[in-house]
């Protein structure tokens, strides 16, 4: 007769770290994590034990828990993820917090257009729409932009999941190309939030074992990782110069801490009239740049 295993024993014997073992077992049992501690004597079926062991092996080989479970929490919301999108990182919540704070502090009644560039799973734009009060949200137009159609499909799915799909327009585009080609009348204020690829090829190869489960196109860029930001800042200048009815362009971008000085040089070159500042993440590392162009 085979020995049965309960939740307590499975967790105790697991080779994974506590957070990983709990997340994987919750996924196998289709129960919230709290269930594990409320029902430690719950006996698992042989199929459940087998499934847990299979997934634990995948995690031990380096596959992220988010890829195994197909979901990742970001800004208090669960997002569906797969191999076609970057897994949302906690550091990126700084972008959302900063944009929300800016919107909260803004008292003017001018229409605002918010563009989430490189939207991926849609975690940034969905979090913004969910947390902006309805009166302010009604005066805004939201765009989720990505060069990957597969990523846009995931972003749409997450927008529907959180009941905000009707507020967001989805556009397949390489950076701001969609808006430049359409020659859209972007009046009022334009706010761009961008978590573009910024990992250099050298760093990617060094960390390939940990990054291989995510799309390389969402991670790496040429010119020491910052090619996309060079192009973005150039396109921002083009849009600002061609829209006389635009009062402000604000851009929030994420980067790697060691890139701060290089980002500053790129901003000065591509946007010489812009004002900019930097902010640190919770680990007290430089993580975000805020850039403002005003008339």
Same domain, 54 and 106: no
Task: State the pLDDT at residue 43.
Answer: 96
Same domain, 147 and 50: no
Whether pTM exceeds 0.85: yes
At residue 138, what are phi and psi to the nearest 5 degrees?
Answer: -65, -20
DSSP for 182-251 reads HT----EEEEEEE----B-HHHHHHTHHHHTTS-GGGTB-TTTTTHHHHHHHHHHHHHHHH-TTEEEEEE
Give the number of C-alpha atoms closer than 13 A to the C-alpha of residue 115, restricted to the C-beta side.
26
Same domain, 138 and 217: yes
The tokens for 108 are 């003017």
Alpha carbon of 239 to those of 111, 185, 186, 189, 232: distances in Å? Answer: 17, 10, 9, 12, 10
The tokens for 82 are 């797969």
Q: Residue 72: which of 209, 279, 214, 192 has the closest Cα? A: 214
Say whether pLDDT at 245 is over 90.
no
pLDDT digits (tens, 9 = 90+) for 171-200: 999 999 999 887 666 767 899 999 999 999
Task: State the pLDDT at residue 105.
Answer: 83
Same domain, 105 and 46: no
Where residue 53 falls among pLDDT bands split at 50, 70, 90?
very high
* Assigned domain for 168 exists: yes
Q: Residues 52-70, buried b or exposed e (16+ Cβ, 10 A)?
A: beebbeebeeeebbbbbbe
* Assigned domain for 73 exists: no
* Assigned domain for 118 exists: yes
Angle between helices 149-161 and 123-131 (to 10 degrees): 30
Task: State the pLDDT at residue 22.
Answer: 96
Total domains, the chain:
2
Q: What is the dihedral of CA 178, 182, 186, 192, to 10 degrees?
A: 0
SS3 7: helix
* Assigned domain for 145 exists: yes
Same domain, 176 and 224: yes
pLDDT digits (tens, 9 = 90+) for 21-39: 999 999 999 999 999 999 9
Say whether pLDDT at 87 is over 50.
yes
Choose the weakest-confidence range: 16-20, 142-146, 247-251: 247-251
Residue range 150-163: average pLDDT?
A: 98
Same domain, 53 and 100: no
Q: Please state, as a whole number, how many other Cβ atoms lie within 10 Å of the Cβ of residue 196.
A: 19
Task: State the pLDDT at residue 1.
Answer: 46
- What integer best gives the mean pLDDT of the chain? 93
Q: Supply the range of the domain harboring residue 55.
A: 5-61
SS3 119: coil
* Assigned domain for 69 exists: no
The tokens for 191 are 């706010």
Task: State the pLDDT at residue 118.
Answer: 97
Q: What is the dihedral of CA 185, 186, 192, 194, to 10 degrees?
A: 0
Task: State the pLDDT at residue 112.
Answer: 86
Task: State the pLDDT at residue 182.
Answer: 77
Residue range 259-270: average pLDDT?
A: 97
* Assigned domain for 141 exists: yes
SS3 41: coil
Which of 61, 91, 106 is the last residue in one of the domains? 61
> What's the CATH code of the domain at 250?
3.40.50.150
* Assigned domain for 72 exists: no
């Amino acid at each position: 007769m085979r020995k049965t295993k309960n939740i307590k024993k499975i967790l105790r014997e697991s080779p994974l770290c506590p957070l990983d073992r709990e997340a994987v077992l919750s996924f196998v049992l289709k129960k919230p994590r709290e269930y594990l501690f409320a029902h430690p004597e719950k006996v698992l079926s042989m199929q459940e034990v087998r499934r847990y062991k299979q997934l634990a092996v995948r995690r031990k080989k380096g596959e992220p828990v988010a890829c195994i479970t197909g979901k990742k929490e970001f800004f208090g919301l669960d997002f569906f993820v797969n191999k076609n999108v970057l897994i949302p990182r906690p550091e990126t919540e700084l972008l959302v917090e900063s944009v929300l704070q800016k919107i909260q502090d803004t008292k003017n009644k001018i229409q605002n257009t918010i563009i989430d560039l490189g939207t991926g799973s849609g975690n940034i734009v969905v979090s913004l729409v969910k947390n902006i009060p309805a009166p302010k949200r009604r005066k805004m137009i939201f765009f989720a932009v990505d060069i990957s159609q597969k990523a846009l499909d995931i972003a749409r799915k997450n927008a529907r999941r959180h009941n905000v799909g009707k507020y967001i327009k989805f556009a397949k585009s390489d950076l701001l190309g969609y808006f430049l080609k359409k020659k859209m009348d972007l009046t009022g204020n334009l706010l761009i939030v961008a978590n573009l690829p910024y990992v250099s090829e050298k760093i990617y190869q060094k960390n390939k074992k940990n990054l291989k489960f995510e799309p390389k196109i969402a991670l790496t860029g040429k010119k020491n990782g910052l090619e996309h930001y060079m192009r973005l800042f150039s396109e921002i200048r083009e849009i600002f110069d061609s829209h006389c009815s635009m009062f402000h362009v604000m851009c929030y971008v994420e980067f790697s801490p060691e890139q701060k000085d290089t980002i500053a040089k790129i901003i000065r070159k591509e946007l010489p009239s812009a004002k900019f500042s930097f902010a640190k993440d919770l680990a007290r590392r430089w993580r975000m740049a805020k850039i403002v162009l005003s008339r």
